[in-house]
Amino acid sequence: MPNFRTLDDLGDVSGKVALVRVDLNVPMDEGSVADDTRIRAVAPTILELADAGAKVLLLAHFGRPKGQRSSTESLSLVQGGVEDVLGREVMFIPEVAGPIVEQAIGILRAGDIGVLENTRFWPGEEKNDPEFAKAVAANGDFYVNDAFSAAHRAHASTEGLAHLLPAYAGRAMEKELKALDAALGNPQTPVAAVVGGAKVSTKLAVLEHLVTKVQHLIIGGGMANTFLAARGVNVGKSLCEHDLAATAEAILDAADRAGCTVHLPYDVVVAKEFAANPPSLRTCNVHEVAEDEMILDVGPQAVEALGDVLKTCRTLVWNGPLGAFETPPFDTATVALAQTAAALTKEGSLVSVAGGGDTVAALNHAGVAADFTYVSTAGGAFLEWMEGKELPGVAALNI
Ligand code: ADP
Ligand code: MG
């Protein structure tokens, strides 16, 4: 785990200016915040700093304005949502650097909170331009990064600032880094990874990294079909990347060499059409899929066996559903295995960490997200972490 400072390492901050990178890239509906999950995630850090007497200035991007001002992507639109979550008044400041910010800081009292404008209105943000970062840093006394979800980008507000000011991980960042360390950094073994989802091609780097890290690799979803096909199984008209057969073989060989057991489904749920509860629905052995059928979920016997694998493991990292979980009954395997993992976590025998857009939705659908040790909502950053990449925003916090 990177060695980073947290808010516990801050001395007296009263009257000091905290530049706090947060994730305010929230979904909007008719001009107001439609889902405040991301704001709620950073609220503890903001309130802790404000209550300690800092002047808290929030830095964030919003949408993709590509280096110029855009009225529909101003963070002024999110100011009200931030106030609602924090239960406090928040000042909107229409710049990120310069005299307007300086004046605002003069008006703010110790413990007050301000939201700076969308960092991506300035081309220097995404270019990580040192001059831009210096101009932003000039108004701050210290920097806090609480946006793990943006840490895979080396931008001025996520990376550059950490080199210019004393830098600290916020509470949400700290929690995420500790959970990820427990999952793949310094995990208790045996470790199982579930990798599912639609396509192998989107998760090649994840698979290649995991086979060197985990003892059990459970492959489900559409991507299992590519592996089955590579092994000579007829997958009918399933979603399958036949051109990746050699790549799939190479991953299986690498797993063999590393002593990682790969689990592919041996029974599957198939249908002739992709629809809710189709009349052609049936469960069969993987070797019995007909030419006009497609595999849409892992079968009940395989799921039971996978549950038994998890019972022997101490750590689980999960990305990607086992089946086309949005359409019933192809959510069955995902829900069943998620419930097993949740029960083992509750018993204290398993540390379970999951992430990915559809994975979070699937775990919520299974009603078990709260029972997992940690569920990451950071899509891109979580996947890059699963690929074993160093995230620039995290590396910059290293002391
Ligand atoms: P995440 O967002 O968690 O990283 P992905 O986007 O990789 O996950 O994959 C999720 C998608 O994979 C879902 O839309 C799901 O319907 C699809 N999927 C899973 N299994 C199958 C399958 N057997 N056939 C077709 N699509 C599948
Ligand atoms: Mg997805």
* Least confident interval from 215-219, 254-258, 386-390: 386-390
Q: Classify burial at 291, counting beta carbons within 10 Å of its beta carbon; exposed 0-12, middle 13-18, buried 19 or more.
A: exposed
Q: Which residues surround ligand 2, an ion (CB under 5 A)?
A: 357-358
Whether the per-residue pLDDT at 2 is higher than 80: the answer is no
Mean per-residue pLDDT, 30-50: 95
Atom of ligand 1 nearest to the CA of 323: 20
Atom of ligand 1 nearest to the CA of 202: 7
Ligand nearest to the CA of 356: 1
Mean per-residue pLDDT, 158-176: 98
Cβ(295)–Cβ(269) below 8 Å: yes
* Distance, CA of 61 to CA of 390 (rounded, Å): 21
Question: What pLDDT does 331 receive?
Answer: 98
- In this structure, what token pair is assigned to residue 135? 């101009």
**One-character DSSP codes across 310-371:** HHT-SEEEEES-SS-TTSTTTTHHHHHHHHHHHHHHHHTS-EEEEE-HHHHHHHHHHT-GGG
The whole-angstrom distance between residue 151's C-alpha and the CA centroid of its chain comes to 10
Cβ(92)–Cβ(114) below 8 Å: yes
Query: Which residues, in sequence order, are CB contacts of 68 under 8 Å at separation 6+?
Result: 121, 123
Cα of 325 vs centre of ligand 1, distance in Å, is: 8
Is any atom of ligand 1 closer than 6 Å to the C-beta of 319?
Answer: yes
Expressed in angstroms, the distance from the first to the final Cα of the chain is 11
The secondary structure of residue 102, as a DSSP letter, is H
Mean per-residue pLDDT, 199-207: 91
Is any atom of ligand 1 closer than 6 Å to the C-beta of 239?
Answer: yes
Mean per-residue pLDDT, 125-130: 98
The length of the chain, given as a count of residues: 399
Mean per-residue pLDDT, 183-206: 93
Question: What pLDDT does 375 receive?
Answer: 95
Nearest CA to ligand 1 atom 22: 222
Ligand nearest to the CA of 363: 1
Question: What pLDDT does 259 receive?
Answer: 97
Cα of 217 vs centre of ligand 2, distance in Å, is: 19
Atom of ligand 1 nearest to the CA of 199: 7
Is any atom of ligand 1 closer than 6 Å to the C-beta of 299?
Answer: no
List pLDDT tens digits, range 65-94.
999 999 999 999 999 999 999 999 999 999
Cα of 143 vs centre of ligand 1, distance in Å, is: 38
Is any atom of ligand 1 closer than 6 Å to the C-beta of 194?
Answer: no
* Catalytic machinery residues: 38, 199, 357, 380
List pLDDT tens digits, range 316-347.
999 999 999 999 999 999 999 999 999 999 99
Ligand nearest to the CA of 361: 1
Cα of 299 vs centre of ligand 2, distance in Å, is: 22
Whether the per-residue pLDDT at 379 is higher than 90: the answer is no
Is any atom of ligand 1 closer than 6 Å to the C-beta of 357?
Answer: yes
Nearest CA to ligand 1 atom 14: 324
Whether the per-residue pLDDT at 1 is higher than 80: the answer is no
Is any atom of ligand 1 closer than 6 Å to the C-beta of 355?
Answer: no
Confidence grade of residue 133 (pLDDT, cut at 50, 70, 90): very high
Question: What pLDDT does 175 receive?
Answer: 96
List pLDDT tens digits, range 262-310.
999 999 999 999 999 999 999 999 999 999 999 999 999 999 999 999 9
- In this structure, what token pair is assigned to residue 372? 């997992």
Mutate to test the pocket of ligand 1, among 358, 360, 383, 387 (most ligand atoms within 8 A of CB): 358
Q: Produce one character per residue of 182-213: b if its CB has 16 or more CB atoms within 10 Å, e if not.
A: bbbeebeebbbbbbbbbbbeebbebbbbbbeb
Nearest CA to ligand 1 atom 10: 197
